[in-house]
């Protein structure tokens, strides 16, 4: 990983799902050099790797680009933080439903970079998908 790597790339390299926040407690996934809400540097992180979140919406995509699994089920999942919430997009490992509790699971290769329009070296290709949390857990 080069010094120019984005926070997204670094997080993926360490198999961590991190929310990035500024001094005003605005958090985002992925991180940004400056907070989109207030412009302050994002200098702190919250580790969501072991947390669970709630499915806010989901879709199952039947027509996918080259190198992407088909069908591709995607969800936007919201994590509750101390003072706010933070959302992220990810694939799902199993069928999910609105309001369902899910947890992140690290996947080495989300899509085949060799078949994508984007250059393989442009970004990281690992990341987190979601799986439902059993009511017994």
Partner 1 sequence: MDVAVLGASMTPFGTREPWVRELATDAAIACLDDAGVDPSALDHLYLSNMASGEFEGQTGVMNAVAHDIGAVPAYTQRVGQTSASGGAGLYAAWQSIASGASELTLLVGAEKMTQQSTGEAGDVIASLTHPAEYAHGVTLPSFAGLTARTYLERYDAPRESLAHVAVKNHQNARRNPDAQFQKDLDIETAMSSPVVAEPLRLYDYCPLTDGSAALLFCPVSVAREYTDEFVVLSGVGGATDTHVVHERDDPTWMSAVANSGRQAFEMAGCGPADIDVAELHDMVTLLEILQLEAFGFAERGEGWRFAVNGTTALDGSLPVNPSGGLKARGHPLGATGVAQAVEIYRQLLGKVDGRQVDAERGLTCNVGGFGNCVTSAVLEVAE
Sites of contact with partner 1 (CB under 8 A): 6, 8-9, 28-30, 36, 56-69, 72, 74-76, 87-91, 98, 110-111, 116-118, 122-127
In whole angstroms, how close is the CB of 136 to partner 1 at the nearest point?
Answer: 27
In whole angstroms, how close is the CB of 127 to partner 1 at the nearest point?
Answer: 5
Alpha carbon 66 to its chain centroid, in Å, reads 21
Report whether 42 contacts 33 (CB < 8 A): yes
In whole angstroms, how close is the CB of 91 to partner 1 at the nearest point?
Answer: 5
In whole angstroms, how close is the CB of 65 to partner 1 at the nearest point?
Answer: 4
Report whether 41 contacts 132 (CB < 8 A): no
Cβ-Cβ contacts under 8 Å for 2 (sequence gap 6 or more): none
9 or 25: whose CB is closer to partner 1? 9
> Is the peptide bond preceding residue 71 cis, with omega within 30 degrees of 0?
yes
> Is the peptide bond preceding residue 102 cis, with omega within 30 degrees of 0?
no
117 or 137: whose CB is closer to partner 1? 117
């Amino acid at each position: 990983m080069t010094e120019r790597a984005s926070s997204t790339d670094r997080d993926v390299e360490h198999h961590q799902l991190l929310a990035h926040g500024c001094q005003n407690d605005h958090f985002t996934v992925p991180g940004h050099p400056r907070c989109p809400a207030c412009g302050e540097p994002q200098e702190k992180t919250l580790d969501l790797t072991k947390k669970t979140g709630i499915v806010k919406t989901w879709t199952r995509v039947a027509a996918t680009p080259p190198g992407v699994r088909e069908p591709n089920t995607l969800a936007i999942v919201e994590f509750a933080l101390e003072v706010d919430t933070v959302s992220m997009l990810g694939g799902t490992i199993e069928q999910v439903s609105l309001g369902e509790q899910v947890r992140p699971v690290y996947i080495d290769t989300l899509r085949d970079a060799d078949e994508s329009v984007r250059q393989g070296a442009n970004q990281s290709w690992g990341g987190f998908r979601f799986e439902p949390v059993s009511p017994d857990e």
